[in-house]
Amino acid sequence: MNLAQTIRTIPDYPTPGVMFRDITTLLGDARAFRRAVDELVQPFAGAKIDKVAGIEARGFILGGAVAHQLSAGFVPLRKKGKLPHQTRAVEYALEYGSDAMEMHLDAVRDGERVMLVDDLIATGGTALAAVKLLREAGAEIVAACFVVDLPQLGGAAKLSAEGVRVSTLVAFEGA
């Protein structure tokens, strides 16, 4: 099975010139979903991973499944104002403006080994913010794992330059 073939491409979404890589078709295919989770987990089987952190929202779906397979806890990384308890936050730049990501203060303890999971790595802004947030909490980032990489946008390279091991399953050229 070719996982790339299970990912729908939507031209000109959300803006003209963008080829949106929609993993909901992969998630809806039981065999593809299982294979994607298995392939995300496989390089880390046997590694001590305390928590899997998933970036809102598709990172929740994938991260929860990965955490289950690794017998690890799960940490939701959410948009500002979505978590009910005391939080820590990090702001990050977007193409037009900025955003913030939060996690509960007690989500990660100092020295815990954490794997970051999301559906796609593009420019890397969101993933870099997540790494910063987790490191500020004292986490050791074991890896950042994504189903899709858009290598021309450089996000995986930026994460690697920050000392983060990056693992991806499929790459698509273009934006």
Active site residue 135: no
In the set 21, 56, 95, 109, the catalytic residue is 95
User: Tens of pLDDT along 129-155?
Assistant: 999 999 999 999 999 999 999 999 999
Q: pTM, whole model, 2 decimals?
A: 0.95
pLDDT tens string 99-135: 999 999 999 999 999 999 999 999 999 999 999 999 9
- Taking the mean position of all CA atoms in its chain, how far away is CA 7? 17
Spatial contact of 140 and 77, defined as CB atoms under 8 Å apart = no
- Domain boundaries, given as residue ranges, for the chain: 47-171
State the pLDDT at residue 78.
97
Q: Which fold has domain 47-171?
A: Rossmann fold (3.40.50)
User: From CA 83, how far away is CA 39, in angstroms rounded?
Assistant: 30
DSSP state of 94: E
* Residue 24, SS3 per DSSP: helix
Instruction: Give exposure, 55-83, as e/b (b: 16+ Cβ within 10 Å).
Output: beebbbbbbbbbbebbebebbbbbeeeeb
Dist CA 74 CA 17 (whole Å): 35
Q: What percent of the chain has pLDDT over 90?
A: 90
DSSP secondary structure letters along 127-173:
HHHHHHHHHHTT-EEEEEEEEEE-GGG-HHHHHHHTT--EEEEEE-S
Q: Is 173 a catalytic residue?
A: no
Return d(Cα 119, Cα 62) in angstroms, integer: 7
DSSP 8-class letter at 42: G
- Which residues, 6+ apart, have CB-to-CB distance to 14 below 8 Å? 20
- Stretch 26-39: mean pLDDT, rounded? 98
- Name the catalytic one among 58, 78, 102, 112: 58
